[in-house]
Structure 1
Amino acid sequence: MTRTPDQRLLPRGELATDVLPAAARLLGCTIEADTPDGPVAVRLVEVEAYRGADDPASHSFRGRTPRNEVMFGPPGFLYVYFVYGMHFCANVTCLDDGDAGAVLLRAGEVTSDLGVARARRPTARRDPDLARGPARLASLLGLGREHNGVDVTDPASPVRLLAGPPVDPAAIRSGPRVGVVAAAELPWRFWLDGSPAVSVYRPAKARDRSVTSRSK
């Protein structure tokens, strides 16, 4: 896969910060993965922040469990989970080791071979839809349970996070989170203004408590 001169692995230290600056930092970065069809890369254009004990929408709100262990650090690892019994979503951990926090990867623009991406997501009607939404993004990159805990700052990793050129702060927008009921009003979703790959905002409706939450 060809990389531009300004692309490098994002250092772990740049993610050892609170979830909000970490989320903004991830915008414009590229996440690339080795798939059975070939390498696939997307430039992140939409993300969503989730903290720990003070964020009731977070998977880590009630403490450490075998499921959310990765969220408690160190930063720079994938937290991948299965939702609604249908698909996977992927997050990148942040904050210091021991403090729970992660950023959901919500949408991206394909920067690798479009032929490979289209073959992996044949139901996408348009190229901006290939990684539009967290489930589609994870599917395109081939992320599953086996990627939970993968270090995206390691050059030998099957999934890698690359720093992109600086994003103009004026191009970053923020608003309510998607698909959560608790603390949904927090403006912790960040996106790049004007990108056609940004998902459509739909406020969540209360679900039966027996159904698995989409929160992180």
Structure 2
Amino acid sequence: MMKEPADITPLTLLDYPGKAACIFWFRGCNLRCPYCYNTHLFGSGGNTRKDFRDFLRERKGFLDAVVLSGGEASLSPGIEDMCREIRSMGYLVKLDTNGSNPERLELLLREKLVDYVALDHKTPAYGSPRLPDGRSLFSQFEKCLGLILHFCPSHEIRTTCHPDLLREEDILTMAHEIRDRGYMGTYYLQHYFHTDRTPGRMDGPSRRYDRAMLDSLSPLPLGYRNFPEEQYR
């Protein structure tokens, strides 16, 4: 049975490169990242009152794409059927995923139901004490990476960064990990967004990243998102 989105962001010009898109947010996630600001999507609860089909019909010719996010959208029941319906209406589909569900990702990619994948790289293969079980998650991430490299030409790898959770050395290791497995695109680093309701009750960073070190030693080009320039130069 197809599950309606929990909420809809009607317009974003940032989340699907080069496209005007909306975001469908889905409830449910199998991780509890300490920096997550979408804790309201962890559990069950009400969904948007508007049928997603009506929403997309009203925006035909204005929007180009739909971003599926969460939570973890790949866990949503009937996500394949929703992708089919979205694409049948002429929209592109982008999936944001935490990299923990390669089986569902493979199904979506093999059936050509997704046009763009943003894959999270949470931790180095050796793990991190305050992040999800890195060694277990990395094996799933590795499978997801192989799938998007094989099946999905439009993709990106991204990491949410907090200097007290991931050091420069960790980020550089992660850049080497994905480069060594065939990823040659930009590696996007997303600055932690502070709220008072994160699962790890995270404080603001106690130090600054050395961006000169990251840029000079990374084997891949780095893209910085939402980094406060006055703090991270």
TM-score computed with the length of structure 2 as normaliser: 0.23
More helix by percentage: 2
Q: Bigger radius of gyration, 1 or 2?
A: 2
More strand by percentage: 1
Highest RCO, 1 vs 2 (Cα 8 Å, sep ≥ 6) = 1
